[in-house]
Structure 1
Amino acid sequence: MNGEALWNIIISGISSSREEIKTTTGLWFRALSNDGRLYVDRATDHTPSSELSMQRSISKKDFLFVHSYYDRWFNGEYGVRQEVSRKSRNTAYIFALIDMFLEKNKS
């Protein structure tokens, strides 16, 4: 699925009420969409009962950049996650959202 289509699915799939997301690596956060942007509330630790410490905004441009590396990261290409993380502080959240929505939208 291309990045534009997935962005639209995620924006429409996450409402203005926060969706709780836990990744396979234990990263826990809440995500919401508003005005065509994604927002991530990061937890101070990795449990749903933890306090939220920071809200980060994810633009479509940032999402599409990280998405362009997703297949290479998923296939285990060495260093891709580190390379992308240097350019986008939201890499882990975006990868988690991509994983979650690709899983939900498997045909």
Structure 2
Amino acid sequence: MNGEALWNTAIAGLSSSGEEIQTTTGLWFRALSCDGRLYVYKATDNTPSSELSMQRAISKKDFLFVHSYYARWISGETGVRHEVSRKSRNTAYIFALIERFING
């Protein structure tokens, strides 16, 4: 699925109440869609039932940028996560969102 289609799927697939998702590094967060944007609320103690703290808005531009690296990341290419993280502080969350909507 291309990045644009995946963005639209994520926007449509997440409600304003959100969904708990876990990154490959163990971070729990709630992702939700509101006003055509994605928002991430990070769990304070990395469990799905913990208090949510930090909020980050994810722009379409940032989502598409991280998506452009997804195939390299999923194939295990070394250095991809570091390379992307230098340009996007939301890297782990966006990779987790991409996986969630690709794998159902």
State the shift of 1:50 in Å.
1.4
- Residue aligning to 1:83: 83
Query: Is it true that 1:55 corresponds to 2:55 in the alignment?
Result: yes
State the shift of 1:20 in Å.
1.0
Taking structure 1 as the reference length, the TM-score comes to 0.93
- What is the alpha-carbon distance in structure 1 between the residues aligned to residue 102 and residue 29 of structure 2? 18
Count, aligned residues: 104
Alignment RMSD:
0.9
| 24 and 92 in structure 1: CA distance in 2 versus 1, 3 angstrom threshold | closer
> Which residues of structure 1 form unaligned runs of 5+?
none
Sequence identity percentage = 80
State the shift of 1:22 in Å.
2.0
Greater relative contact order (Cα < 8 A, sep 6+): 2
- Residue aligning to 1:101: 101
> Which residues of structure 2 form unaligned runs of 5+?
none
Amino acid at match of 1:26: G
Taking structure 2 as the reference length, the TM-score comes to 0.95
State the shift of 1:84 in Å.
0.2
